[in-house]
Chains A and B, each alone.
Chain A
Amino acid sequence: QVQLQESGPGLVKPSGTLSLTCAVSGDSISSSNWWTWVRQPPGKGLEWIGEIYHSGSTNYNPSLKSRVTISVDKSKNQLSLKVSSVTAADTAVYYCARVPFFFYAFDSWGQGTLVTVSS
């Protein structure tokens, strides 16, 4: 049973960089899955941020592409998210999730971590 666990600072200053890590257990980051990030502002809906394959291939939401970087660390079996130049609009619960290859649905999710952008 795969488990995903997000971690990182819960408070980031405006104009700073948000950095999160998602530790994967019960599955290899090098298996046939896309590893994704999704966020949810308080009281609002879900927004897909981007995804990465273990080869390093990435896809990003065009609305966030200029500020987002997703990477994998195979030695630690984890993926990371960086969002630069953050504003209050980036305040959200951030989830990592797994999308099996050719499955096109998010079948496993982390519990999420709240990141607040505030001075």
Chain B
Amino acid sequence: NAGVTQTPKFRVLKTGQSMTLLCAQDMNHEYMYWYRQDPGMGLRLIHYSVGEGTTAKGEVPDGYNVSRLKKQNFLLGLESAAPSQTSVYFCASIVGWSPSMNTEAFFGQGTRLTVV
């Protein structure tokens, strides 16, 4: 049982290049999230999805796009990378929602992205 898997683990981009980060979960979870983590900033929510075919903006969505074409995959795209997007990116998933569920978020191992 792999849980949440992020691809790639490391990447160096030049300013202006594009790339896609892949998050895959094998737990049949409905909700998926993309965060970025910078020193002293905690985890900041970029985009999230509450089901296949749905996406929504988080706290820091500018410069990023996402897609959830399949339930198990959540893709994060950078169309034109900027040095300000240098960060560690984490994906997370939650089984779904009802007030009585004792749900927890499962995280991937992170993707360390450097934009030069």
The yes or no verdict on A and B being binding partners is no
Chain A residues within 8 Å of B, Cβ to Cβ:
none
